[in-house]
Structure 1
Amino acid sequence: MTSSKAASAWPFTLRGMKSQAWRSAWERAGSSGTGLPQARRVQGWPRREVPKRAPFYLKAEEVAPVLAQVPPEWRCLFATAVYSGMRRGELVQLTPASVRATPT
C-alpha cells in the first residue's frame, strides 16, 4: 500500500478508529475547562490518604551475614552499595578513576 493510500484509509481501519476515538475523548476532556488531571478524577470523591512507610535499613550487625550470602563476584559491588549508600545508576557509572584511594 502506498503512503497516499494508507493515509486516505487510516480512519477507516479498526486501529485508526480506535486511536481517533481516544484522541477526540482526550481533547474533549482537556477542553472542558477543568483540565486533564481533574477530568480523570471522579468529582466529589475524597482522596485516600496513604501513610508513608518508614524506610528499611540494615543494622550494622546485619550487614556481614547479608554480604556472606552474596555471590563472590558481586560482593564488592554490594558492599560498596551498602557502605556508601549509592544507587544502582551511580554504582554502574563508577570507574577506577572516580575512586579515591586515600581518605580525605
Structure 2
Amino acid sequence: MAGPRHSRSALIFLIAAIVVALVSMPLLRAVGMVLWPVFAIAWLINLGAAWHLAQWARQQGRSAWAFGLPAVLGTVASIVVFVLLALLGPKPGSQSPAA
C-alpha cells in the first residue's frame, strides 16, 4: 500500500510545484517583484516530490539514489523520473512490503 501512496504523493508535489510557478509568476510580475522566489519555491516543493520518488523506486527494488537524485534537479526531471518508474514497474522477483 505504501507504493501507491508514494507515487500519489509525488504526483501531488509535482502538480503543486507547477501550479505555484504558473500562478506566482504573473502575480510577482504584476507587482514588480523579481521572479527568482517563484523558482526557489517551486524547487523546494519539488524536493518533496524527489523524496517520494526515491521511496517509490526503493519499494520497487530499484536504487533510490538513481531515481531520487535526478529528480532533485527540477520539476521536469521529476516528471521524467515519475514516468520512468510508472513505465518500468516493479522489477521481476521483487516483492512489495506489506503495509
Which TM-score band (shorter chain)? Answer: under 0.3
TM-score, normalisation: structure 2:
0.21
TM-score, normalisation: structure 1:
0.20
Larger radius of gyration: 1
